[in-house]
Chain A
């Protein structure tokens, strides 16, 4: 009964490179959420996706960030032209149905992105 899987666990990029973070939800879950945690901060909501659809990306920076959840395969969070301020822990969560107030979100171990 695998939980939410994220890879890589650690990612180092130089400024200007691209970062691709992957998330496989729990079995039976079709709703995926991405959160970012900056040092000494709580987790901040970024984007909510269902299969092939972005439902809410209100927490995503307008530029350089994108997310997808294709019909087949994991959800991908992509950060283009990374800057030092992108260094953070990125967590993916999944739920069986949508709704933070109706269904528990289960989190993966996170990807720690370091931008040099």
Chain B
């Protein structure tokens, strides 16, 4: 039972453009959401998070939007850079355990 779903396995974006990664969740008890970035053969690196009491959080080029009524969140990267090419995992929390999606592989082309 996948409680966090990332329906796009991959995404390709041109350098300088916006990357939008999407995530849906099923459990309305989740109160905290995170995005992690992962390079091959490395562990996930924390990117940005958002509490359920907010609908937007911004950190530099990264912005996360939360739509609680739709149980949907998205990560916007503007402008996209080649170094952003990685797998991005959406995760949710209701307590201490994180629930991860399967990830979206982002490729930023020059």
Residues of A within 8 A of B (CB): 4, 6, 31, 33, 35, 40-45, 48, 55-56, 58-59, 91, 98-102, 104-110, 112
Contact = CB atoms under 8 A, between A and B. Distances in A.
Contacts of A112: 41
B97 A91 contact: no
Nearest to A40: B102
Given A42-B102, A42-B103, A100 B43 contact: no
A42 B100 contact: yes
A56 B31 CA distance: 19
A41 to B, nearest CB: 6
Contacts of B100: 35, 42-44
B89 A100 contact: no
A45 B98 contact: yes
Nearest to A41: B102
Interface residues of B, number: 27
Given A91-B43, A107-B36, A100 B97 contact: yes
Contact of B95 (A6, A101, A105, A110): A101
6 contacts: A33-B97, A42-B4, A59-B97, A101-B31, A101-B95, A109-B43
Contacts, number: 74
Contact of B32 (A6, A40, A98, A100): A100
B68 to A, nearest CB: 14
Minimum-distance CB pairs A-B, first 4: A100-B93, A101-B32, A42-B100, A107-B43
B102 A105 contact: no
Contact of A110 (B6, B42, B101): B42
Nearest to B92: A100
B45 interface: yes
Contacts of A101: 31-32, 51, 93-96
A42 B43 contact: no
